[in-house]
Amino acid sequence: MRELTSVMLAAAILAAFACVIVLGDRAESTSVDEYISASRGEVKPVFDPRFPADPRSSRRLWEERKESSTDSEMESPPENISEASPAPVVEGKAPEISGRLSFVLKDLTSKRLELQLYRLDDTVFGHGTISENSSTQQVSAIGDVMGSTLELDAISEYTIYRLKIDSSKSPMTGTFTAYRADASSWPGVVYQEGAA
């Protein structure tokens, strides 16, 4: 027992001596506050000068680059576009696709898709439900508006309904393809319910 105690004491003295040597070398560049922070697991953030330090700086840099690239594009038009022929102007108003919308999806059965959609520029997103008989599931939706076409993905737990809808008419109509998690798929038609 005495031998074990003397070996443990010798090991503790050696460990303390090693700590003094290591800490002595670092004492010149490390403060007591840094030691305390390191012992708590706190880490001083290191910023890479190649990247912005925070999201606001990143956004500001992105906007500056966007403005400078737009200015340079305006100064020198591409060679393949002549200055005499302006770009064609598309007439017509973009469809208003937002708010509460109801659709019927018809394949071998009928399903009712009810969505609350929000629009940001040409992106549409939202949430809702899809019902078949007495079964109802929650869905999320995201898509794009391209001219008068709405391409929308309605995603339930195991199925994605990929809709392609012509929004130039009322009620809106189109087609869809459903994709299941087991890699099966099937087509169908979609039309808006309750539109004037």
pLDDT tens for each residue of 149-188: 999 999 998 899 999 999 888 888 999 999 988 888 999 9
C-alpha separations of 127 from 69, 83, 130, 153 in Å = 37, 46, 10, 11
pLDDT in tens, 29-42: 556 666 666 666 66
User: Do both 189 and 104 map to the same domain?
Assistant: yes
Q: Residue 78 and residue 72: Cα distance in Å, rounded?
A: 11
Q: Indicate the number of domains in the chain.
A: 2
CATH number at residue 175: 2.40.128.30
Structural domain containing residue 13: 1-87
Give a yes or no: residue 92 inside a domain. Answer: no
How far is the C-alpha of 44 from the C-alpha of 176, rounded, in Å? Answer: 53
pLDDT (average), residues 183-194: 89
Nearest to 92 by CA among 193, 171, 192, 169: 169
Task: Give me the pLDDT at residue 167, please.
Answer: 84
In one-letter notation, the amino acid at residue 84 is A
Report residue 82's pLDDT band, with 50, 70 and 90 as the boundaries. very low
Two tokens, residue 58: 């990143």
Residue 167 belongs to some domain of the structure:
yes
